[in-house]
Amino acid sequence: MNEQHLKIFVESATHYFNHLSGEPATVQVPYLIEHNESLIYDYTGVIGIAGLYQGNIYFTAPEGMMRYLLATQGETKLTPENCLDVVGEIANILAGNARRELGNELLISVPFKMAGKPSMMLLAKNSRSYAIPIQWRIYMAALVVSVKG
Amino acid sequence: MIKLLVVDDSSIICRKIERSVKVSGLNIVGIAHNGLEAVKLFKKHDPDLVTLDLTMPEMDGLETVSALLAIKPETLVLVVSALADKATAIEAIRRGAHGFLCKPFTDQELNEALTELLESGAR
């Protein structure tokens, strides 16, 4: 992944929050993260990437942000199950929207969703991993792109 | 009454569609969370219109378009997906889908897409 690729994911994240809520997110400068570094909030949605590109992309966010996003969409059941559902859907949308630029050779999986710390390593081996910090309202979240190709 | 089947693996998206649909005469008859469930509910409820996600477990949306239209070719299918590339939209249309709405979508965009689809289907 190069700078141009990361820009596509930054635009994807900016578009998501702005379009859905009308309240733009502040997407900060992406930075390289080490493989032993843990960047995980309360809920995480992971998308496996295959095809021309290999690895995974994950979106991780605090519970408060997920609950607020649910409410923004008119959802009244602000449950842990629905927080998991929405974090998976965001990961799916951010990865899927990136295909507008990267094309259908970016094969994406259905989201794998989890609450709390993962029991496995989320960063792909043999690839550089970048964190894209996202601030929306008072909440900080991150999109992590760990993809080679 | 026009019967609508909603197909998406996300319960949040299904409920958002349920809450958002304001098109007169449209009645949601079923909600499915994957392609196999969609085929089952499709046979049971005989819908006129389907909103269909593409990235789903069990049977994906492109396979599901073909499966549903093999049962009832005149069904109107609106693909509602995060997959924003042209090739996927073209493939969905090639398989018989009638419209494509990209996620994330607003209530207004959903209702406009459904209205447009119904008007095109009526012609």
Q: Could you state, in chain order, the average pLDDT of each consecutive group of 10 residues for chain A (149 residues)?
A: 87 92 91 83 95 92 96 94 97 93 90 87 82 96 91
According to the model, what pLDDT value does residue A5 have?
87
**How is chain A split into domains, by residue range?**
3-148
Asked if B9 has any chain A CB less than 8 Å from its own CB, the reply is: yes
Chain B's closest residue to A100, CA to CA, is B85
Report residue B120 CA to chain centroid gap.
15
DSSP B24: T
- Calculate ∠ Cα B18-A24-A27, nearest 5°: 120
Q: Is A88's CB within 8 Å of B10's CB?
A: yes
Residues 46-105 of B with CB under 8 A from A: 55-57, 81-85, 87-88, 102-104
A121-124 contact pairs (CB < 8 A, 24+): A121/A35, A122/A40, A122/A44, A122/A46, A122/A56, A122/A58, A122/A146, A123/A33, A123/A35, A123/A56, A124/A54, A124/A55, A124/A56, A124/A148
Peptide bond into B104 cis (omega under 30): yes
Q: Which of A16, A86, A104 sits opposite B12 (nearest CB)?
A: A86
Q: Could you state, in chain order, the average pLDDT of each consecutive group of 10 residues for chain B (123 residues)?
A: 96 95 91 97 98 94 96 97 93 95 95 93 58
ipTM of model: 0.90
According to the model, what pLDDT value does residue B123 have?
54
Q: Is B84's CB within 8 Å of A100's CB?
A: yes
CATH class (in words) of the domain with range A3-148: alpha beta
Least Cα separation, residue A66 to chain B (angstroms): 12
According to the model, what pLDDT value does residue B60 have?
93
Chain B's closest residue to A82, CA to CA, is B12
0.90 surpassed by pTM: yes
User: Which amino acid is it at A35?
Assistant: H
Substitution target in B22, B103, B105, B110 with the highest count of A β-carbons within 10 Å is B103
Per DSSP, helices labelled H in chain A are 3-21, 63-72, 80-102
